[in-house]
Amino acid sequence: MKRGFYIGRFQPYHNGHQSVLEHIAGEVDEIIIGVGSAQLSHLIDNPFTAGERVLMITRSLADIGCPLYVIPIEDIKRNALWVAHVRSMTPPFDACYSSNPLVVQLFREAGIGVQSPAMYERETLSGTEIRRRMICGEPWKSLVPSPVAQVLKEINGTGRLSQIARDE
Amino acid sequence: MKRGFYIGRFQPYHNGHQSVLEHIAGEVDEIIIGVGSAQLSHLIDNPFTAGERVLMITRSLADIGCPLYVIPIEDIKRNALWVAHVRSMTPPFDACYSSNPLVVQLFREAGIGVQSPAMYERETLSGTEIRRRMICGEPWKSLVPSPVAQVLKEINGTGRLSQIARDE
Amino acid sequence: MKRGFYIGRFQPYHNGHQSVLEHIAGEVDEIIIGVGSAQLSHLIDNPFTAGERVLMITRSLADIGCPLYVIPIEDIKRNALWVAHVRSMTPPFDACYSSNPLVVQLFREAGIGVQSPAMYERETLSGTEIRRRMICGEPWKSLVPSPVAQVLKEINGTGRLSQIARDE
Amino acid sequence: MKRGFYIGRFQPYHNGHQSVLEHIAGEVDEIIIGVGSAQLSHLIDNPFTAGERVLMITRSLADIGCPLYVIPIEDIKRNALWVAHVRSMTPPFDACYSSNPLVVQLFREAGIGVQSPAMYERETLSGTEIRRRMICGEPWKSLVPSPVAQVLKEINGTGRLSQIARDE
Amino acid sequence: MKRGFYIGRFQPYHNGHQSVLEHIAGEVDEIIIGVGSAQLSHLIDNPFTAGERVLMITRSLADIGCPLYVIPIEDIKRNALWVAHVRSMTPPFDACYSSNPLVVQLFREAGIGVQSPAMYERETLSGTEIRRRMICGEPWKSLVPSPVAQVLKEINGTGRLSQIARDE
Amino acid sequence: MKRGFYIGRFQPYHNGHQSVLEHIAGEVDEIIIGVGSAQLSHLIDNPFTAGERVLMITRSLADIGCPLYVIPIEDIKRNALWVAHVRSMTPPFDACYSSNPLVVQLFREAGIGVQSPAMYERETLSGTEIRRRMICGEPWKSLVPSPVAQVLKEINGTGRLSQIARDE
pTM of the predicted model over 0.80: yes
Give the mean model confidence (pLDDT) for residues C134-155. Answer: 98
Given a cut of 80, whether residue D122 has pLDDT beyond it is no
Which of E31, E35, E88 has the highest number of chain F CBs within 10 A, making it the mutation to test binding with F? E88
Tens of pLDDT along F135-154?
Answer: 999 999 999 999 999 999 99
Give the model's pLDDT for residue A118: 74
Which residues lie closer than 8 Å to E101 by C-beta, 6 or more apart? Answer: B163, B164, B165, B166, B167, B168
More confident residue, E43 or A117: E43
pLDDT-derived band at C120, boundaries 50, 70, 90 = low
pLDDT-derived band at E116, boundaries 50, 70, 90 = confident
Give the model's pLDDT for residue D14: 97
3-state secondary structure of E113: coil
Give the model's pLDDT for residue F118: 74
Give the mean model confidence (pLDDT) for residues F55-71. Answer: 97
Give the model's pLDDT for residue D25: 96
Give the model's pLDDT for residue D125: 87
Q: Which of F42, F166, F168 sits opposite A79 (nearest CB)?
A: F42
Q: C106: distance to nearest CA of chain E, Å?
A: 8
Is F69 in contact with F63 (CB distance < 8 Å)?
no
Give the model's pLDDT for residue E119: 66
Give the mean model confidence (pLDDT) for residues D22-41. Answer: 97
Q: What's the Cα-to-Cα distance from C32 to each of A89, B92, C22, D72, E146, rounded to whole Å?
A: 44, 43, 13, 13, 45
Tens of pLDDT along A21-72?
Answer: 999 999 999 999 999 999 999 999 999 999 999 999 999 999 999 999 999 9
What residue in C sits closest to B80 (Cα-Cα)?
Answer: C41
Give the model's pLDDT for residue F124: 77
Tens of pLDDT along E14-38?
Answer: 999 999 999 999 999 999 999 999 9
Continuous segment of H or E residues that includes residue B163: helix B157-164
Q: Cα(B21)–Cα(B55) distance, rounded to whole angstroms?
A: 16
Q: What's the Cα-to-Cα distance from C7 to each of C21, C50, C87, F147, rounded to whole Å?
A: 11, 13, 12, 52
- Whether residues C38 and D89 touch (CB distance < 8 A) is answered with yes
pLDDT-derived band at C118, boundaries 50, 70, 90 = confident
Give the model's pLDDT for residue A75: 98
Is some CB atom of chain D closer than 8 A to the CB atom of B102?
no
Does residue F117 have a cis peptide bond before it, meaning omega lies within 30 degrees of 0? no
Give the model's pLDDT for residue F119: 66
Spell out which residues of chain A touch residue E85, defining contact as CB-CB under 8 Å. Answer: 78, 80-81
What residue in D sits closest to F80 (Cα-Cα)?
Answer: D41
Is some CB atom of chain B closer than 8 A to the CB atom of A21?
no
Is some CB atom of chain B closer than 8 A to the CB atom of C105?
no
Given a cut of 70, whether residue A119 has pLDDT beyond it is no
- Whether residues A54 and B91 touch (CB distance < 8 A) is answered with yes
Is some CB atom of chain A closer than 8 A to the CB atom of B41?
yes
Which of E77, E89, E152 has the highest number of chain F CBs within 10 A, making it the mutation to test binding with F? E89
User: Cα-flanking dihedrals φ and ψ of residue E22, to 5°?
Assistant: -65, -35
DSSP output for B120-149:
TTTTTSSHHHHHHHHHHT---GGGS-HHHH
pLDDT-derived band at D114, boundaries 50, 70, 90 = very high
pLDDT-derived band at F167, boundaries 50, 70, 90 = confident
One-letter amino acid for residue C14 of the chain: H
Write the ipTM: 0.96
Burial of C133 per CB tally in 10 Å (0-12, 13-18, 19+): middle
Give the mean model confidence (pLDDT) for residues A118-135. Answer: 85
Which residues lie closer than 8 Å to D43 by C-beta, 6 or more apart? Answer: D164, F79
Is some CB atom of chain B closer than 8 A to the CB atom of A50?
yes
Is some CB atom of chain D closer than 8 A to the CB atom of A163?
yes
Give the model's pLDDT for residue B120: 59
Average pLDDT over chain E, rounded to whole? 95
- Whether residues F105 and D42 touch (CB distance < 8 A) is answered with yes
Q: In 3D, which of A149, A167, A164, A131 has the Cα closest to residue A43? A: A164
- Whether residues C168 and B100 touch (CB distance < 8 A) is answered with yes
Spell out which residues of chain B touch residue A92, defining contact as CB-CB under 8 Å. Answer: 51, 55
Continuous segment of H or E residues that includes residue F32: strand F30-35
- Whether residues E88 and A81 touch (CB distance < 8 A) is answered with yes
Q: In 3D, which of B100, B81, B79, B76 has the Cα closest to residue B5? A: B100
Spell out which residues of chain D touch residue B81, defining contact as CB-CB under 8 Å. Answer: 76, 81, 84-85, 88
Is C46 in contact with C40 (CB distance < 8 Å)?
yes
What percentage of chain D carries pLDDT values higher than 90?
90
Tens of pLDDT along C66-117?
Answer: 999 999 999 999 999 999 999 999 999 999 999 899 999 999 999 998 998 8
Give the mean model confidence (pLDDT) for residues F72-77. Answer: 98
Q: In 3D, which of D24, D34, D35, D33 has the Cα closest to residue D2? A: D24
Is E97 in contact with E114 (CB distance < 8 Å)?
yes
Given a cut of 90, whether residue E120 has pLDDT beyond it is no
pLDDT-derived band at F32, boundaries 50, 70, 90 = very high
Give the model's pLDDT for residue C124: 77
Q: Which of D77, D99, D102 sits opposite A164 (nearest CB)?
A: D102
Q: In 3D, which of F69, F98, F68 has the Cα closest to residue F83? A: F98
Q: What's the Cα-to-Cα distance from C3 to each of C26, C92, C93, D13, rounded to whole Å?
A: 12, 7, 5, 22
Q: What's the Cα-to-Cα distance from C145 to each of C16, C21, C44, C140, F26, rounded to whole Å?
A: 10, 13, 21, 11, 64
3-state secondary structure of F72: strand
Give the model's pLDDT for residue A117: 82
Give the mean model confidence (pLDDT) for residues C22-47. Answer: 97
Give the model's pLDDT for residue E168: 63
Give the model's pLDDT for residue F121: 63
Q: Which of A49, A163, A168 sits opposite D80 (nearest CB)?
A: A49
Give the mean model confidence (pLDDT) for residues C1-24. Answer: 96
Given a cut of 90, whether residue D124 has pLDDT beyond it is no
Q: What's the Cα-to-Cα distance from C89 to each of C86, D38, D52, E53, F75, rounded to whole Å?
A: 5, 7, 8, 30, 19
- Whether residues B85 and D81 touch (CB distance < 8 A) is answered with yes
DSSP structure class, residue A43 = S
Spell out which residues of chain B touch residue E108, defining contact as CB-CB under 8 Å. Answer: 163
- Whether residues E99 and B41 touch (CB distance < 8 A) is answered with no
Least confident of B60-74, B114-128, E77-91, F66-80: B114-128
- Whether residues D104 and A163 touch (CB distance < 8 A) is answered with yes
